[in-house]
Structure 1
């Protein structure tokens, strides 16, 4: 399924193919995926285990390379960049939120949030950082270390850090996977507010229909192919669509 978008895309892949291994043991994790992630929108990627959703995110973000096809951040094609320029692009134009919070334990909350700016030797905007701190609700925790925070608070720090440099797009890989339902809802609400109130762009991989319901649109992958998409998702609608994969056999591009 080829996706055509008319709005500005923060990131996109075209005819993306990713093959791991070779010969009889090779695995085709992505099988000709073309999709754009619109700027200023919250997109979720879902699919059964092994569908290629994390591979798609990693290749779109420049964390992994495609076997064939192209990946772009804005108008920049990632395959044209050498290692140094790709590292700089990921630092300056891409934010990441992972299931494991990946905070630096020796730094305070404030220092963790501004770490991308410090690494880039950029001061950034004090007003922007203050606005982020306000949105994530951590104004009274800025001098704490990660070990002094709950899991939900640590993930909120990670979200603020991801947005600190005003990247073109933030990729979130199962960002609520290590959180209880209440903390997870807080983090998902935070990602949604960053998109809608601060004009940010988020692409999130998740297996959770409740999490996907926070997005503006859900993309569904199966066997490395884009097989469906859903605007204005609800948890029930997403769950029903995911259940359809269990009994699918060759329909809508889903292979058993």
Structure 2
């Protein structure tokens, strides 16, 4: 079998870890109505790193929140694997988010009174689940915080706190990690460490990651980028680089400016 045939078979076998179909999200009524998502259909492949990009107000965070079950769609469907989120009652949706999804946000959301180790294992403790010590050891090694386990969040740098948040998102072995601007509060060096960590999670422990970002450098760590504008999916890019993403974003800006002049 030649390389091309293998690549085609591999592409066919990649399943979506999450997806939305004809997703519509409307906020407000009448004159105040805002259509944050306008019939968006997109898949987030399993064991891949997907970045979501677009101008401010394009709907990228709304898309992530609806795909993760943090917000409901006005119309259309959101799936985690084969589970349609809109069909679940609140309690089952809460359990699904706890057991099958990991979250990383711009704000680290660590509990200040808990140690690093306790913050990492918090999702398992809340669920009453047993901590897999081998897996925990692996995660601690991956995030490089073995000498900080007894520290409180206030004793850590911003980058270290976000690495704790990533480990917490991974500890329950979720099907997907959703990250909303995870480097937004970090300097460039700390941000690069966190992005490298998410990349390693995909490459080494076969995690699925979906990340919202406005930063072309951050998007360059992903396997694919999906671009939104005005609540619509307008483009996708495979194997992105920071330069290619930046050029594409400039194209979008130029189109908006041209439309504005014509208007």
Cα deviations across residues 194-228 of structure 1 (Å, max 9, x unaligned)? 00100000000000000000000000000111110
Equivalent pairs, count: 249
Aligned-pair CA distance for 1:249: 4.3
Q: Does 1:150 align with 2:161?
A: no
Residue of 239, 242, 250 corresponding to 1:243? 250
Alpha-carbon distance in structure 1 between the residues aligned to 2:13 and 2:197: 27
Q: Does 1:215 align with 2:215?
A: no
Residue of 21, 24, 32 corresponding to 1:25? 32
* TM-score (norm. length: structure 1): 0.95
Q: How does 1:1-256 map to 2 (within 5 A)?
A: 7-249=14-256
Aligned-pair CA distance for 1:24: 1.7
Alpha-carbon distance in structure 1 between the residues aligned to 2:257 and 2:182: 31
Query: Which ranges in structure 1 are unaligned for 5 or more consecutive residues?
Result: none
* TM-score (norm. length: structure 2): 0.92
Aligned-pair CA distance for 1:124: 3.3
Cα deviations across residues 11-58 of structure 1 (Å, max 9, x unaligned)? 110000000011121010000001111110000000011100000000
Aligned-pair CA distance for 1:6: 6.0
Alpha-carbon distance in structure 1 between the residues aligned to 2:161 and 2:243: 29
| Structure 1 residue ranges, 4+ long, deviating more than 3 angstroms after superposition | none
Aligned-pair CA distance for 1:125: 1.6
Cα deviations across residues 167-212 of structure 1 (Å, max 9, x unaligned)? 0100000000000000000000000000010000000000000000
Alpha-carbon distance in structure 1 between the residues aligned to 2:14 and 2:143: 29
Query: Which ranges in structure 2 are unaligned for 5 or more consecutive residues?
Result: 1-11
Alpha-carbon distance in structure 1 between the residues aligned to 2:222 and 2:21: 22
Q: Alignment RMSD, CA only?
A: 1.5
Aligned-pair CA distance for 1:7: 2.4
Secondary structure of the corresponding residue to residue 243 of structure 1:
helix
